[in-house]
Amino acid sequence: MEKVSGNNFDKGFAQWLDYQQAPWGKLRYRVAQANLRQHLPPSPARILDLGGGNGLDSILLVKLGYTAVLIDFSLEMVVQGQKLAAQEQVSDQISFEVGDATQFVAGEQFDIILCHNLLQYVGNVTAVLQNIHQMLRPGGIFSFIITNPHTETLAYALRDYDLVAAKENLNKSTKYVETFDTHIQRYTDDELKSMLQNCGFTLLEQYGIRAICDFMADNERKFDPDFYEQLEQLETAVSNKHPYKLLARFYHFVCQK
Ligand SMILES: C[S@@+](CC[C@H](N)C(=O)[O-])C[C@H]1O[C@@H](n2cnc3c(N)ncnc32)[C@H](O)[C@@H]1O
């Protein structure tokens, strides 16, 4: 994998914001929150959001009474996260730091650690998972979201009718991400589950996020509020069910130490 830096994410911020505001971006955050709420300890509790970007996940959580520390190596993400926290009037509950998540070692242990769509950009995933395990208090909750390579193959074929791309995609271990101009590493859920287990985590539940939306070609319809509402309800209903969770755009593992 090529070296990726905060600069890649600074430059991609405008496109990232468009994604977050689109129905498929909204679904990613809404379904993740619904999954997480099944497992979180009652507030007050301390959250560490590693590679937390502009803070959408943790800002939603601090509104429930938690406090959070967000670490990200993109200055633009951090600045935009601080602005969003101010707009949402939660600045006193969340602090933002510019830092490298692969090097970060906190002086405290956290009740909840989020690592959402970070580890596909990182070379040594096991080292980061081991570090997360150390920073989590015994009994604490670890929420881990990462891309599912199988969905891309299916979406090329079923949504785009691009069978050549689907076939080419089958055995690729990396994928180019235009928004951040870099390649990501891809892992199957078996590989990820074995890494989690080897690092000492107990898997409480495996979810999938966006098992339906990404196979629908008609993006316009997803902007219709009534259609979106039904889609979100369906996505939430299938997020922990076989076989849907195995086909969803993102794997979401909720673990305990
Ligand atoms: C796809 S975004 C996800 C952001 C956020 N977790 C979310 O799901 O909304 C990936 C984030 O990871 C950050 N990142 C990637 N590698 C990092 C590293 N080594 N240290 C800190 N942040 C990193 C990027 O700056 C970016 O904000």
The answer to whether the CB of 117 is under 6 A from ligand 1 is yes
pTM of the model: 0.97
Query: 152 in a domain, yes or no?
Result: yes
Query: 89 in a domain, yes or no?
Result: yes
The pick from 69, 118, 128, 145 for probing ligand 1's pocket by mutation, whose C-beta has the most ligand atoms within 8 angstroms, reads 118
**Series of mean pLDDT values for 10-residue runs along the chain (257 residues):** 86 96 98 98 96 98 97 97 98 97 92 97 94 97 96 92 94 90 94 97 98 96 98 98 97 98
CATH number of residue 47's parent domain: 3.40.50.150
The answer to whether the CB of 252 is under 6 A from ligand 1 is no
Query: 157 in a domain, yes or no?
Result: yes
> By residue range, what is the domain housing residue 192?
6-256
Per the structure, the count of domains in the chain is 1
The answer to whether the CB of 146 is under 6 A from ligand 1 is no
The answer to whether the CB of 211 is under 6 A from ligand 1 is no
190-197, long-range: CB within 8 Å, 24+ apart, which pairs?
A: 192/144, 192/146, 192/251, 192/253, 193/253, 195/125, 195/126, 195/129, 196/129, 196/144, 196/253, 196/255
* Ligand 1, atom nearest to 28 Cα: 8
Buried b (16+ CB within 10 A) or exposed e, 160-170: eeeeeebeebe
Res 127: pLDDT:
95
Query: 56 in a domain, yes or no?
Result: yes
Res 89: pLDDT:
97
Res 3: pLDDT:
82
Query: 133 in a domain, yes or no?
Result: yes
Query: 10 in a domain, yes or no?
Result: yes
Name the strand (E) or helix (H) holding 16. Answer: helix 13-21
Query: 1 in a domain, yes or no?
Result: no
- Residue 102 per-residue DSSP state: T
Query: 65 in a domain, yes or no?
Result: yes
